[in-house]
Amino acid sequence: MYILGMESSCDETSAAVVEMGDGVRQIKSDIVASQIEIHRLYGGVVPEIAGRAHIEAVSRITRQALDEAGVTFADIGAVAVTTHPGLIGALLVGVNFAKSLAYANQIPLVSVNHIHGHVAAAYLTDPTLKPPFMAVVVSGGHTSLFLVRDYTTFEEIGATRDDAAGEAFDKVGRVIGMPYPGGAALDKLAYEGDANAFRLPSPAVAGDNLDFSFSGLKTAALNLINTAEQKGEQIDRADLAASYTAAVVSGIVKKTDMALTGPARGIGTLVLAGGVAANSHIRNALSELCARRGVKFIVPDRSLCGDNGAMIAAAGYFEYEQGRFADTSLNASACDEM
């Protein structure tokens, strides 16, 4: 069946048509209108502006997704929309648009959790993937470890206690003069620096837990920059990018390994997902860890790591399979739970 997936939780308006069924997982179209250029002016996402930009883009993007897929509403078996978590004003645009489409065209409507959507990108990358597996979700707003028990059952076994990995990358990127969002630029710059140049705290929370804390690492990096500036010196940006990235990578590898040898022992597959999953250093390190542990490693293509409608359509298919339909009372929520 064809699913129309809609995403508007942050600064990307996206619509996609994905074919899902027994042995079929195929992206027919995945149109993403990014607002990055608009928010770059402010160094971060301005929620009010995001909501307005979604309104301007949503009809055009949806039309484009249907046209590129070569389908009409009559071919769509379900409309899947991100309802949570995210920026409330941004989410409401997609939710209301999807509700209207579903109602007017008599198409079943399903609600999708954005984080579950990120993980579902892996189903589109590896058509043979099925639960159970472990998932590491690293994005602008989230950093969590999950046991994915079945297609719609997620057990969180670890999470950040403060900032998300992406947020921390973006903050440091901003301070050293990278355009928003700094994550991708830091990824490249890290190859030019010395990872041992600065000693930085690990984002892996000490002890027998699977949690992260990025605020200490972020503050330590900012302090280094400020101290250098006060002395009239300039910090070596590449060295900082390399040292910072090394700290993030080793923290993520440490907790992922603890999970693989702890609650996820015996689960033979690890999925890496979310916007920060585009980071080459994290991809390489987790790939090596999985090879060492004899675990299959799956990470979506970079184009499917950032927010997009195809991942929402894929996650929506499994909600549809469970018969979990939404009606016109469907709402959005900024929180992890509806």
Residues at the interface with ligand KG4 (CB under 6 A): 10, 139-141, 166, 169-170, 181, 183-184, 187, 274-276, 278-279, 306-307
Partner whose footprint covers residue 278, from Zn ion, ligand KG4, none (CB < 5 to 8 Å by kind): ligand KG4
Nearer Cβ to ligand KG4 (9/29): 9
Q: Which helix (H) or strand (E) holds 92?
A: helix 88-105
Edge-first strand order for the sheet with 76-84 is 24-34, 12-21, 2-7, 76-84, 109-113
Q: How far is the CB of 277 from ligand KG4 (least distance, A)?
A: 8
Nearer Cβ to Zn ion (139/213): 139
Q: How far is the CB of 307 from Zn ion (least distance, A)?
A: 4
Residue 12 and residue 37: Cα distance in Å, rounded? 11
Residue 81 and residue 68: Cα distance in Å, rounded? 19
Residue 319 and residue 22: Cα distance in Å, rounded? 15
Q: How far is the CB of 291 from ligand KG4 (least distance, A)?
A: 21
Q: How far is the CB of 98 from ligand KG4 (least distance, A)?
A: 18
Nearer Cβ to ligand KG4 (76/114): 114
Residue of this chain nearest to ligand KG4 (CB atom) = 275
Residue ranges in 145-262 assigned as alpha helix (H): 165-175, 183-189, 215-230, 237-260
What residue ranges bind Zn ion (CB under 5 A)? 139, 307
Q: How far is the CB of 118 from Zn ion (least distance, A)?
A: 6
Nearer Cβ to Zn ion (233/337): 337
Measured CA distances, 311 to 145, 213, 265 (Å): 18, 27, 27
Residue 130 and residue 92: Cα distance in Å, rounded? 31
Query: Is the CB of residue 15 less than 8 Å from the CB of residue 31?
Result: yes
Record the tokens describing residue 13, joined without a space.
């308006």
Partner whose footprint covers residue 82, from Zn ion, ligand KG4, none (CB < 5 to 8 Å by kind): none
Q: How far is the CB of 323 from ligand KG4 (least distance, A)?
A: 27
SS3 content of the chain, % helix, strand, coil (to 5): 45, 20, 30
Nearer Cβ to ligand KG4 (58/107): 58
Partner whose footprint covers residue 319, from Zn ion, ligand KG4, none (CB < 5 to 8 Å by kind): none
Nearer Cβ to Zn ion (121/259): 121
Q: How far is the CB of 124 from Zn ion (least distance, A)?
A: 15
Amino acid at 123: Y
Q: DSSP 3-state assignment of 83?
A: strand
Query: Is the CB of residue 82 less than 8 Å from the CB of residue 114?
Result: yes
Measured CA distances, 50 to 22, 81, 86, 198, 217 (Å): 37, 17, 11, 36, 29
Residue 264 and residue 210: Cα distance in Å, rounded? 11
Nearer Cβ to ligand KG4 (35/76): 35
Residue 180 DSSP one-character state: S
Nearer Cβ to ligand KG4 (101/308): 308
Q: How far is the CB of 159 from Zn ion (least distance, A)?
A: 15
Q: DSSP 3-state assignment of 147?
A: strand
CA 40 to chain centre: 19
